[in-house]
Chains A and B, each alone.
Chain A
Amino acid sequence: MTSLQKPYDIIVVGAGHAGCEAALAAARMGCCVLLLAIDLDKVASMPCSPSIGGMAKGQLVKEIDALGGEMAKISDKTAIHYKTLNTKKGPAVRSSRTQNDKARYHMAMKAVIERQPNLDLKQAMVDNLIVEGNKIVGIMDQTGFGFQAKAVILATGTFLSGLIHIGINSIKAGRAGEFASYGLPENLKALGFKLGRMKTGTPPRLKKTTIDFTKFVQQELDPSPIPISFFTETIPLPQVPSYIGYTNKISHGIVRDNLRHSALYGGIIKGISARYCPSFEDKIVKFPNKDRHQIILEPEGLDTDEIYASGLGNSFPMEVQIEFVRSVEGLEDAEIMRPAYAIEYDYVNPIQLKPNLETKLISGLFMAGQINGTSGYEEAAAQGIWAGINAARKIQEMRSFILDRSEAYMGVMIDDLVTRGTREPYRMFTSRAEYRLMLREDNADLRLFEKGYELGLINKDALTDVKTRKRQITKEIERIKGVVIKPSQAANEYLTHRGASLINNGIYLDQLLKRVELDYDAVDHLAKSPAPISPKVAQQVEIEIKYEGYIKRQLKEIDRFKNLERVKVSDNFDFGKVHGLSNELKEKLSSVRPSSLGQASRIDGITPAALSVLMIALKKFET
């Protein structure tokens, strides 16, 4: 190892969405951090869809933001289209999504990283980890140049043994046009890690000027888009529409006739793909009765003609791709600028990680993002900030920072990953969260600002703001619960106007607010607060009162959940010696090493009987 290079606290390998958040969080927590990318022109690039957020992912982005992460801020700086999903299904499952200018996203993130004190950004491909005993001490790049560090975070995305497929052609690449890493996976195997193989893919990019947009339905722009980040004041870029269209029977026929030429069905791809993100071949084979599939055309940026054709992902050779794309109404003359492709890559089953995302095998080695078998920019970023925080905490000899399933979507995801592992690319869904009513986008700041502040990632002003708001919310709810609305003519006129039934007797305002037809506007009209109430406070007051019954129930469930989480498993507890457990379960428990009885209860195959046996054994062990 050379002495030319200063030693770092933490090295982050890979500067995608996970790597950037990891490096920024650790540097902001006072660590000296090195961020390595194979190509500095690809920092925080968006190799697939040009959008951030979406169902459950929007919640992740808000949580990252509430812990002082960067994704939401960059998203606002570069967004060219905002949309709120599920507006009618209740605040709990409302999610934000933006479409972004890819080039600007990359540049904006790179700029933040370059300006961040304590953080060096360098170009290098890492080939080897340097391990002493079971401790990481540094890395070596492919030229043999070494860097020392106390902790290393691997955020290598799809680059480990990456292999791109277009028809029967396979190209070694981490992404189209980028070198893959073939040294590091070998090194990981040699260190004892078990690697699996996954597959993902991306649709073709079409030239804007060759598309007949009159054949598509234009998606209206949100007239008053709300920023994603809690810290964004204005949305700088102009907004542009996207377009919806459909494939047809002819397109499906082309796909069916050419299945054997696709990499996926030609037997070339071995990796496991995500079912929620099927290649078009999959859609045709698995849903043969659907005679059309939706496609969305989204611009990749303001200064480019490239259009992302969402829904047309495939692994066909070029000639088939062209025929297939041009079979769609409005795309008859479309020119493909970049072909669709499938990519296979190695991942490390996250069951080999602790809840802080540190590997069980090597102390100080952390992993985040697609290397852990996840999919999506937001999932990667969330793991990135989690790993960055925890690597910093480890170096600073502080307790791990873990959010549980009742505190954040991040907590749900990490717990799923380290408890159950994953065989297909893992994506966040709201249905994965047991307490999703409590884990809303709108309260991410209320949930996490204080934690962010304790970590040193959220500033004092933001903390004060949240604390003040919490007080105002409590006060206003109390006030509303004490106000009786009399059946005055004015009150009933208002109710009629809102389509609500009239009142004949006095009624508490909170009871009135629970009515489906009414919202906080009713409070303003019927018994306005003497103190000014900001829209943010009003929103929380409305949600807390309207869903009071359900919120109370979820809180009770959370209580019970926490009881199990509190039964901790000590590090020296031997699962192999638990009397009454099957050998299979003993092995499973020994390999996952759940840190609490609660985590143990979520391992596949654990029966209630096994759990009570385990609980009894734990009690015996403690006494």
Chain B
Amino acid sequence: MSCSLLQRASILKMDQATIAAIATPTGSSGIGIIKISGEDSISIAASIFRRSGFLSDESGQPSLFLTLHEKSHQIFYGHIVDPKRDIVLDEVLLSVMLAPRSYTRENIVEINAHSGAVVLNAVLELVLQQGARLAEPGEFTKRAFLNGRIDLTQAEAVIDIINAKTTQALEFATNQIKGGLRKSIEAVLNSLNDIIIEVDAAIDFPDEVGEIFDKETLQEKLQTSVAEPLSDLIERYKRTKMLKNGIKTVIVGRPNVGKSSLMNCLIKKDRVIVSEIPGTTRDFIEEVGLIKNIPIVFTDTAGLHDTDDRVETIGINKTYEYIESAELVLFVVDMSDSLTEEDHQIYKKIEYKKKILVMNKSDLVSETFLMDIPSQWETIDRVKTSALFNRGIDEIENKILDTAIQDPEGVYNISSISPNLRHKDAVERSLNAVSTAIAGIADELSLALVAIDLKEAVGALEEVTGSSVKGDVLDQIFSRFCIGK
């Protein structure tokens, strides 16, 4: 158990430099935070900060340093000033959190700047000039972890917060750091330990406990209080993964049916070159669009058709690979034209995928026009669109959510507990071990072996919480069973 933690930890290096970074996502928001952590963070801040209402004399700096030192966890209002050029960069709020009462357990200064990315970067640069080093991604969390401030589950949740692309994913991450995931895993761990206690008691105290041991009850308990909650966690992972990484959606169709225009509508940007020369899209363009805050990764592909052009052939083969890995295929056809052999060829490639039939160029036909499609296509979800006039896009979006995630409302309700890949891996290993144990009990396998499976299940879960909640099994045995000479 702890071995794997150590292997993980061995990657982590400890250096004591003061580090700084912009702690908020760049771009959209109007406010940004620069975080500085380490021994020198306060002196660095003091050298570039002017408190409002205080004189900006040179000799005042040490006293500002002392003030910041004395008033941990308070907010100061003032300006960031480039000391060399004496230029005010921004109006800011500054707060100091002295070690160890901070996120990293080091001295932390946070500068809340009110301006956009350009100014934020200028302030960061100033901080770096004063002696800080740019933090590596996740380094604050790494320090928090190495300094014992947070356990592994929390550390990774923080990284997830940093990476969260959507508000929904942010909520997940926030809940996880509160220990939502840990709580549910700890609940399973408690049940498992409970069962191990009974097994060990039966083994170590054959006279006193062995005789009252009941295998059926044990199996039942393992199933309901361990195996089922673990399966549930794995299910949650699968759904959450979609929310975090986006639903992989590939747009396919023969050349010039309007795939690129459709993609532009879906991502609401003009990024893909739209032209009327078939075969324009040879490179693959991935763009993320949000549908109800769920990221959808759209891939526009080369038009699929027979060609001798070598470059284009490569592109077409690549498209088939994309189709393989996609969660959803948007199959685009031209409503104004009858279906061709190429359309049928493409259909064969996507027959077994989740798909939506997009009948594009509806502006070129009458409202009542019915496209002639093969009977086997009848069951596919269909949408009429006109990418040119931005029609039918809402309908596609709803269908995408409905088709890719069977229960889009359900996804919003996975409020707190969502494992990440590492967690899922551990939970899966744990579930496997529990399943082996359940089967072992049924096969009358000796209890000592069943205990090995159960302990393996515990070990895997403890990798998620990052700490051993083993407690003293013996403690529990003695409080539950009357044992003695």
Contact = CB atoms under 8 A, between A and B. Distances in A.
Given A437-B448, A553-B456, A311 B146 contact: no
Given A580-B147, A609-B151, A612-B146, A550 B208 contact: no
A283 B481 CA distance: 10
A580 B452 contact: no
Nearest to A515: B443
A434 B200 CA distance: 12
A464 B207 CA distance: 39
Given A277-B484, A516-B444, A560-B3, A55 B147 contact: no
A573 interface: no
A389 to B, nearest CB: 28
A564 B473 CA distance: 23
B485 A615 contact: no
A470 interface: no
Interface stretch (A82-90, A116-124, A152-160): A82-90
Given A429-B474, A516-B444, A612-B6, A86 B206 contact: yes
A415 to B, nearest CB: 15
Interface stretch (B9-17, B126-134, B391-399): B9-17
Interface string B5-25: 110111011101000000000
B242 interface: no
B146 A608 contact: no
Interface residues of A, number: 58
Nearest to B447: A89
A98 to B, nearest CB: 16
A532 B60 CA distance: 95
Interface string A407-433: 000000000000000000000011110
A564 B455 CA distance: 19
Contacts of B59: none
B388 interface: no
A238 B206 CA distance: 26
Given A90-B446, A607-B467, A277 B204 contact: no
Contact of B447 (A90, A553, A615): A90
Contact of A550 (B207, B443, B452, B484): B452
B445 interface: yes
Between B16, B200, B448, B456, the greatest number of chain A beta carbons within 10 A of the residue's beta carbon is seen for B448
Contacts of B10: 612, 615
Contacts of A294: 207-208
Interface in B440-485: 443-449, 452, 455-456, 466-467, 473-474, 477-479, 482-485
A603 B380 CA distance: 62
Interface in A190-231: 203
A273 B148 CA distance: 35
Contacts of B443: 516
Contacts of A560: 3
Given A86-B203, A560-B3, A615-B10, A431 B482 contact: no
Interface residues of B, number: 50
Interface string A283-295: 1001100100110
B203 A430 contact: yes
B204 A55 contact: yes
Nearest to B204: A429
Given A203-B485, A561-B3, A612-B146, A90 B206 contact: no
Interface in A270-328: 275-278, 282-283, 286-287, 290, 293-294, 310-311, 313
Interface string B412-449: 00000000000000000000000000000001111111
Shortest 7 CB-CB distances between A and B: which pairs? A90-B446, A612-B9, A275-B478, A431-B200, A90-B448, A608-B5, A560-B3
15 contacts: A93-B448, A276-B474, A311-B485, A431-B473, A554-B452, A561-B3, A582-B148, A607-B151, A608-B466, A609-B466, A610-B148, A611-B5, A611-B9, A612-B8, A615-B9
Given A86-B206, A311-B484, 4 more contacts: A90-B446, A91-B446, A203-B485, A286-B479
Interface of B: 2-3, 5-6, 8-10, 12-14, 16, 105, 145-152, 200, 202-208, 210, 443-449, 452, 455-456, 466-467, 473-474, 477-479, 482-485
Interface of A: 48-49, 55-56, 85-86, 88-93, 203, 275-278, 282-283, 286-287, 290, 293-294, 310-311, 313, 429-432, 434, 436-437, 516, 547, 550, 553-554, 560-561, 563-564, 579-582, 597, 601, 607-613, 615-616
